[in-house]
Amino acid sequence: MEDFVVGLIGMGDMGKMYAQRLSAAGWKIMACDTEEKYEALRKEFDGNNDVQICRNGHLVSRASDYIIYSVEAAAIHNVIAQYGPSTKLGAIVGGQTSCKDPEIKAFERHLPADVDIVSCHSLHGPGVDPRNQPLVIIAHRASPASVAKVEMVLSVLGSKHVHLSAKEHDRITADTQAVTHAAFLSMGKAWHANRQFPWEMTRYVGGVENVKINIMLRIYSQKWHVYAGLAILNPEARKQISQYARSVTALYKLMLEGDLGALRARVLAAKEKVFGRDDAPLWDDQPLLNPDLLERFSLGRKEPGEAPRANNHLSLLAMVDCWAELGIIPYNHMVCSTPLFRLWLGVTEHVFRSPGVLDEALRVAVEDRTYRSDDLEFTFAARGWAECVSLGHFETWKNRFETTQEFFEPRFKDATVVGNAMMKAVLESTRN
Ligand SMILES: NC(=O)C1=CN([C@@H]2O[C@H](COP(=O)(O)OP(=O)(O)OC[C@H]3O[C@@H](n4cnc5c(N)ncnc54)[C@H](OP(=O)(O)O)[C@@H]3O)[C@@H](O)[C@H]2O)C=CC1
Ligand SMILES: O=C(O)C(=O)Cc1ccc(O)cc1
């Protein structure tokens, strides 16, 4: 492996993270982005002798032994069609896209037959320390020797390798990532529709609300294509996102009707399916999240000693309803989960394993009208995202995302600082 060269096509956030970490560990890298970024990238990597910037993917492909495509999911087909035929004889090729169906199809179609296919997916954003985070390895068409080479190169990330097929990967990430994002995207849309910065309204500050707000802002501060790609292009995700919207609508209607009995019965039945019976729970003895920790990461002000206002937690109740309807046991996906999913499952578990909190949420749901208009907007938003994903409308998705991104944009700087601290503390304190 002495002269082994790793090629990186796409030097955005993930490509650069790989370039920096792999070269720091001593691997020789050849990398490119689109041609107009050539000079800027050369300047950026000027001091790094282990990273050679190329003008295009042909130059990377012809000289690299293992090539990783880290480009937008919607572009992967065209990019592989362009550079795939230039792949070095006998090389290994993989991709980093969040959804494997289009990537594998493009590889099968455009790569020469002598090339092995071993894909990967780091299950975390570029700003998260990859150590101990799951890294999916997909040995799609490869000799054991090629898989071993890929694992040796990527071992420098310190992630936990999880071996899956492309189909298993897409199924699990639809259950974990796509539907989790749908919940936070809907919260952002709802707050935007009511023109609220939720942390400026005292009723929103504290505990579970901190997680909702911080993660919502984190998602809207990122690039739209990452979230659009993994929802729209994953053939498994449509069902989950549509069910989430149906669950939100059904629970909201029960709230409007003031039917506490029916609401309670539905939520408790879902709880039993997802979290097990009270005498045989599926959760661990230790909660996934320490609730005290959540209080520390607020963007808003709270008077000392003031408890967070009760909330009906429609977004969380609907998540459990959705899992129950689809027969998903979220704990089964922990080996292949992102930090956001673990956080989301952690707060959901917190509400469902604290009987007082769940009872209060159900009582508030029918008695307290404070949240009615927010919840109406949340319901519209969840249905809007679901429709957009079902129709596969990238442009509408982009527009929906960017208008809300613009609304929250002035707050991203502060939110990123608090959000990063929260993620770090939560990751350190949660079991994986
Ligand atoms: N961000 C995240 O949290 C994670 C993302 N992923 C996945 O990784 C992939 C990359 O994501 P990320 O790095 O965040 O996105 P970025 O947009 O930051 O990076 C993608 C880069 O690829 C470039 N590109 C597009 N076409 C070509 C081409 N023909 N030749 C060379 N470069 C090209 C893009 O250029 P241009 O902008 O000009 O199009 C862009 O710079 C996506 O598929 C994403 O789903 C996986 C795990 C985590
Ligand atoms: O943790 C999450 O769900 C994120 O939002 C970050 C992210 C985005 C895309 C991926 O393919 C993997 C991780």
Cβ burial, residue 194 (10 Å; 0-12/13-18/19+) = middle
Q: Which residues contact 370 (CB under 8 A, 6 or more apart)?
A: 203, 309
What confidence score (pLDDT) does residue 308 get?
65
C-beta neighbour count of 120 within 10 angstroms: 24
Q: How far, in Å, is the centroid of ligand 2 from the Cα of 138?
A: 18
Tell me, yes or no, whether 350 and 307 share the same domain.
yes
Give 408-411 contacts, CB < 8 A, sequence gap 24+: 408/188, 408/192, 408/197, 408/217, 408/220, 408/221, 411/197, 411/217, 411/299
Specify whether 128 is located in the same domain as 147.
Answer: yes
- The minimum-distance atom of ligand 2 relative to the CA of 121 is 11
Residue to mutate, 17, 64, 68, 72, ligand 1, most ligand atoms under 8 Å from C-beta: 72
CB-ligand 2 contact for 308 (6 Å cutoff):
no
Contact between residue 114 and residue 90 where contact means Cβ atoms under 8 Å apart: yes
Q: Which helix (H) or strand (E) holds 362?
A: helix 355-367
Give 230 Cα–ligand 2 centroid separation in angstroms: 9
Provide CB contacts within 8 A for 155, sequence distance 6+: 161
Nearest-CA residue for ligand 1 atom 44 is: 97
Note down pLDDT in tens along the chain; length 432 residues.
779 999 999 999 999 999 999 999 999 999 999 999 999 999 999 999 999 999 999 999 999 999 999 999 999 999 999 999 999 999 999 999 999 999 999 999 999 999 999 999 999 999 899 999 999 999 999 999 999 999 999 999 999 999 999 999 999 999 999 999 999 999 999 999 988 888 777 655 667 888 888 899 999 999 999 999 999 999 889 999 999 999 999 999 999 999 999 999 999 999 999 999 999 999 999 999 887 777 777 666 666 666 667 789 999 999 999 999 999 999 999 989 999 999 999 999 999 998 889 999 999 999 998 889 999 999 999 999 999 999 999 999 999 999 999 999 998 988 888 888 888 887 777 654
Both 388 and 373 in a single domain? yes
Closest C-alpha to ligand 2, atom 8: 125
Domain closes at, from 164, 184, 214? 164
Question: Are residues 114 and 47 both part of a single domain?
Answer: yes
ipTM, 2 decimals?
0.99
Cβ of 84 below 6 Å from ligand 2: no
For residues 181 and 128, membership in a common domain is answered with no
Query: Which amino acid would we find at residue 136?
Result: V
How far is ligand 1, taken at its centre, from the CA of residue 75, in Å? 9
Name the nearest CA neighbour of 354 among 428, 290, 409: 290
What CATH number is attached to the domain comprising 20?
A: 3.40.50.720
The whole domain housing 269 covers 171-429
Q: 243 CA to middle of ligand 2, Å?
A: 21
Beta-carbon count within 10 A of 165 CB: 13
pLDDT for the residue numbered 326? 96
Q: Judging by DSSP bridges, how do beta strands 160-163 and 134-141 pair with one another?
A: parallel
Asked if 159 and 176 sit in the same domain, the reply is no
Q: Is 72 buried (19+), middle (13-18) or exposed (0-12) by CB count in 10 A?
A: middle
3-class secondary-structure state, position 66: strand
Amino acid at 283: W
Ligand 1 atom nearest to 79, measured from its CA: 29
Which DSSP state fits 35?
Answer: G
129 and 52 fall within a common domain: yes
Give the residues surrounding ligand 1 with Cβ less than 6 Å away. Answer: 9-15, 32-34, 57, 70-73, 75, 79, 96-98, 122, 125-126, 223, 226, 229
Q: How far apart are CA 96 and CA 83, in angstroms?
A: 16
Distance 102 CA to ligand 1 centre (A): 15
**How far is it, in rounded angstroms, from Cα 73 to Cα 225?**
8
C-beta of 159 in contact with ligand 2 (< 6 A) = no
d(CA 351, CA 45): 47
The last residue of a domain, from among 164, 194, 223? 164
Report CA(123)–ligand 2 centroid distance (Å).
6
Residue 266: its pLDDT value, please? 98
The answer on 260 and 363 residing in a single domain is: yes
Span between the terminal Cα atoms of the chain, in Å: 32
Evaluate whether 10 touches 71 at the Cβ level (below 8 Å): yes
Q: How far is the CA of 126 from the centre of ligand 2 (A)?
A: 9
| Shared-domain flag, residues 285 and 404 | yes
CA 301–ligand 2 middle distance (angstroms)? 29
Number of Cβ within 10 Å of residue 110's Cβ equals: 19
Select from 134, 164, 194 the last residue of a domain: 164
Q: Is the CB of 177 under 6 A from ligand 2?
A: yes
Beta pairing class for 5-9 and 280-281? unpaired
Write the single-letter amino acid at 285. D
Give the pLDDT of residue 381: 98
| Same structural domain, 231 and 371 | yes
135, 181: one domain = no
Spatial neighbors of 360 by CB under 8 A, at least 6 apart, are: 310
Q: Using CA positions, which residue lies closest to atom 2 of ligand 1?
A: 125
Sign of the alpha-carbon torsion through 231, 237, 239, 242: negative
Contact 97 CB / ligand 2 (< 6 Å): no
Name the one residue in this structure whose structure tokens are 């990273």. Answer: 51
**What is residue 143's three-state secondary structure?**
coil
Name every residue whose Cβ is closer than 8 Å to that of residue 92 and which is 6 or more positions away in sequence: 65, 66, 67, 115, 116, 117, 118, 142, 146, 149, 150
pLDDT score of 108: 98
Residue to probe by mutation, ligand 2, list 72, 122, 124, 336, most atoms within 8 Å of CB: 124
Cα torsion 240, 196, 208, 321: sign? negative
Residues 248, 156, single domain; the answer is: no
* pTM for this entry: 0.95
pLDDT of residue 84: 98
Structural domains counted in the chain: 2
User: Using a 6 Å cutoff on CB, does residue 124 contact ligand 2?
Assistant: yes
